[in-house]
Structure 1
């Protein structure tokens, strides 16, 4: 039996680095999605000089610098501060977790307003460290991104505010009241939760007490307002959406080399307006002035062997860092990624993912299910069909050849079922 993995309940930060087998992990703090080319170049330089040259783009659209040492940490923090990527203090860093639809300027403006309000409210210092606000809207909405409190454009000048675990309910308010209303719900959550660790996310509290109790505690009335289902829209390659041109670029499993980020920053500065947008899909978008500019950026990214198309088989695999980087991982997770990606692509579901490779039963890289999930186990893998890393495996102790054979058979079965 695999050991039960430790649930830390918090993410690495600049003031709260997380120890890993390749050094300390720290995050540049980005509120919303906007990042300048100069800031991205600064992150790349910090990774090169103070870390091990590797940067992860997280599912919360945050840049995580790997391999920082105790000796280089002070310089890394000084340089993050100079790039305006260091929160004002540890408390602000811990509770200010705001993600936005990447191409929405209004969502980004609201994110800054929300972040300032959170940091000014002493009662909200009691929020759990992973409590997440999402501000949705624009031409690339946050499809399939789960948040504790979600603010969504409902109609001109109105915002629908909903909570995890109750997608069919929302309170509709004027845009000018949106931030204050979201904070009422956050404070109500703090009150009802009363410090209970098992109620550290809104979805758990709603399951235990009901959404009506949460809205009532906040002094709000919720009405039926189901969030519209929207399939993820294409965002890789040279694109146009709502009259805006942009280039979408990704790296396998969100793992970037500092040299790649440096080149991407240079492309944004030379071919576009010098701004980039981070996404929860582990991709970076670069708004461009024209279709030709977007194509030039994509050509430069392709030369770096980055992912610039939704047809790239590497997108079909989600893998955590694994061993030796993660101390909880029980084996390598990325060594066979290129070998298994074409098979994973044949198994992919609606979101394009066919295979999740996890270093342990925690399943950090993909908390939900996948068509096939592999869990590392002392150099071999346990396999779960149509489930997640914490589910009981159907096969155990597979070496990589057996994994490849099993995925080949699954791909054949999948082809027969779909035709």
Structure 2
């Protein structure tokens, strides 16, 4: 994709996990072939920023050599899979993921944003994370395959997961799912009986507490390659796991006392803003950082009315328009404002910062 600072190159590590050599290699590639900035997406992928037309091909070669990108573009496109970050070797989440990887060639080509969540822990923790087809657990422990937008799922088994998903994906396409774009918008009758509800969701903090390492928060989900190298080289770190919650799990590391809390990270949303995004007319993250301690509840600072950083309503929303901010409450970006045309200083003064 093209952004204001160059091309974005998305990387989805196998099983959502980077070995230490892979993390360091990816960081060096981001620095050599891009501007060194790395985004964490809400689907637990990495985006390398500032890549040029000339550096794109050598970057891909380096990522393929690191085992982070499939040399077959078709297989890479079909591998849009997200794992719950507290999965462990041999559990259902990882076994299903490995089975899907093994059967990728049998999966059909899907619209670009279609994704699969493997959330087969004791209870779902990825319900608020974008995905179209979900493996989840019922309250009685039954493994389910559920399509986003449907309240109930169909029972399945780990050994049948790839087969059942492949059949559902082929049905999705055969019944016009590509035109719908996302599973939640596709209302055709399901091909199998879906009559089992997933268990009530557990909070992200619970899943992170069960993960095999400490959580390191990344405000707004963006950091520099040098920071990734420093984290990967910390004592006892054996791998880096990507989460959809603007942070990394440092496997083997002890708790970081200076870490940013998951609650604060999830309550704060700001897109890259100007000049990184050509659609934005305002800088966003510097204002969000200064404003966050002054407001209660969720905060969304958007460079334009598209609201890419947060689709859900926020308690306080600032939307960029013609170089200034419109302020609204309890809505998405671009919703009807109560104040318009504010500078960043005026916004801060409105909330009590001189």
Same fold, judged at TM 0.5 (above) = yes
Q: Pick one of 75, 87, 93 that aligns with 1:104.
A: 87
Residue 164 in structure 1 maps to residue 136 in structure 2: no
Where does residue 19 of structure 2 map in the other structure?
Answer: 36
Identify if the C-alpha distance between structure 1 residues 331 and 116 changes in structure 2 by more than 3 Å, giving closer, same or farther: farther
Other structure's SS at 2:153 match: strand
Residue 265 of structure 1 and its aligned partner are, at CA, apart by: 0.9
Q: Is the 8 Å Cα contact of residues 34 and 102 (structure 1) preserved in structure 2? A: no
Q: Pick one of 139, 150, 163 that aligns with 2:134.
A: 150
Where does residue 113 of structure 1 map in the other structure?
Answer: 99
Q: Is the 8 Å Cα contact of residues 118 and 183 (structure 1) preserved in structure 2? A: no
TM alignment of 1:9-408, pairs within 5 A: 18-105=1-88, 106=91, 107-121=93-107, 124-125=108-109, 127-138=110-121, 141-154=125-138, 158-167=142-151, 169-193=152-176, 195-196=178-179, 199-206=180-187, 209=188, 213=189, 215-216=190-191, 220-233=192-205, 240-241=209-210, 245-267=212-234, 270-272=235-237, 274-288=238-252, 293-295=253-255, 298=256, 302=258, 307-310=259-262, 316-344=267-295, 347-348=296-297, 354-407=298-351
Residue 406 of structure 1 and its aligned partner are, at CA, apart by: 4.0
Residue 310 of structure 1 and its aligned partner are, at CA, apart by: 4.2
Identify if the C-alpha distance between structure 1 residues 153 and 71 changes in structure 2 by more than 3 Å, giving closer, same or farther: same
Identify if the C-alpha distance between structure 1 residues 85 and 406 changes in structure 2 by more than 3 Å, giving closer, same or farther: same
Residue 233 of structure 1 and its aligned partner are, at CA, apart by: 2.0
Q: Is the 8 Å Cα contact of residues 356 and 366 (structure 1) preserved in structure 2? A: yes
Other structure's SS at 2:54 match: coil
Q: Is the 8 Å Cα contact of residues 319 and 327 (structure 2) preserved in structure 1? A: yes
Q: Is the 8 Å Cα contact of residues 117 and 133 (structure 2) preserved in structure 1? A: yes
Q: Deviations over 1:88-141 (max 9, x none)?
A: 3222222321101011123133223213323333xx11x110001001033783
Structure 2 stretches lacking a partner, 5+ long: none
Q: Is the 8 Å Cα contact of residues 171 and 223 (structure 1) preserved in structure 2? A: yes
Which one has a larger percent helix, Structure 1 or Structure 2?
Answer: 1
Using the size of structure 2 for normalisation, the TM-score is: 0.91
Q: Is the 8 Å Cα contact of residues 31 and 112 (structure 1) preserved in structure 2? A: no
Using the size of structure 1 for normalisation, the TM-score is: 0.77
Give aligned pairs, total: 349
* Backbone CA RMSD of aligned residues: 2.4
Q: Is the 8 Å Cα contact of residues 14 and 68 (structure 2) preserved in structure 1? A: no
Q: Distance in 2 between matches of 1:318 and 1:401?
A: 19
Q: Is the 8 Å Cα contact of residues 31 and 99 (structure 1) preserved in structure 2? A: no
Q: Distance in 1 between matches of 2:232 and 2:5?
A: 25
Identify if the C-alpha distance between structure 1 residues 408 and 94 changes in structure 2 by more than 3 Å, giving closer, same or farther: farther
Structure 1 stretches lacking a partner, 5+ long: 1-17, 349-353, 410-419
Q: Distance in 1 between matches of 2:147 and 2:352?
A: 41
Residue 156 of structure 1 and its aligned partner are, at CA, apart by: 8.8
Other structure's SS at 1:165 match: coil
Other structure's SS at 2:244 match: coil
Q: Is the 8 Å Cα contact of residues 139 and 199 (structure 2) preserved in structure 1? A: no
Identify if the C-alpha distance between structure 1 residues 407 and 157 changes in structure 2 by more than 3 Å, giving closer, same or farther: same
Identify if the C-alpha distance between structure 1 residues 185 and 315 changes in structure 2 by more than 3 Å, giving closer, same or farther: closer
